[in-house]
Structure 1
Amino acid sequence: MTTLDEFLDFVSQELGLNVTTDDADRHVDELPGWDSMFLLTLVTALEQQAGRRILLADALQASTLRDVHELAVDA
């Protein structure tokens, strides 16, 4: 997964949230249905899918899904 759209599809599947490109730059706390545990779930799923580690400390600094996407593609 390299594009933002692919990432958002992945987020929708893994977390059961309906997110679109309009949501990519929203603060995660503004996303309908967002739960604080979703970030941990998402990072774990991304690590498994990509086969590489994403530092949780970096993920905790991410405030938008676009930020998380950048971590995932740069990891």
Structure 2
Amino acid sequence: MNSIDDFVQLLRDELGLYITREDIASTFDQIDGWDSVHLLTLLTHLERLTGRRINLPDALEAPTLEELYTVAVGR
């Protein structure tokens, strides 16, 4: 995972959500179709792609996909 654009593509390809670059700044309740299963699936993919363990409490505190990306990649 090299960029936020790769993250957006992952959301589309692996979760089947049509997410734009602008959508990732929205809160989870504003994302059409988002649910907790998406979060668990996304975290699994992110750990596999980054080779890093993601701190679950930090991930659960992220209010947006953009902040979740930051938690996952450490930026």
Same fold (TM over 0.5): yes
Match of 2:31 in 1: 31
How many residue pairs end up in the alignment? 75
Give TM-score, length-normalised by structure 1. 0.90
Alignment pair present for 1:47 and 2:47:
yes
Tell me, in whole angstroms, the C-alpha distance in 1 between the residues paired with 2:29 and 2:48.
Answer: 24
Structure 1 moving runs of 4+ over 2 Å: none
Look up the match of 2:19: 19
TM-score by length of 2: 0.90
| Matching residue's letter, 2:3 | T
Structure 2 gap segments, 5+ residues each: none
Q: CA RMSD in A?
A: 1.3
Whole-angstrom distance in 1 between the partners of 2:10 and 2:71: 14
Percentage of pairs with the same residue: 45
CA distance in 2, matches of 1:72, 1:2: 12
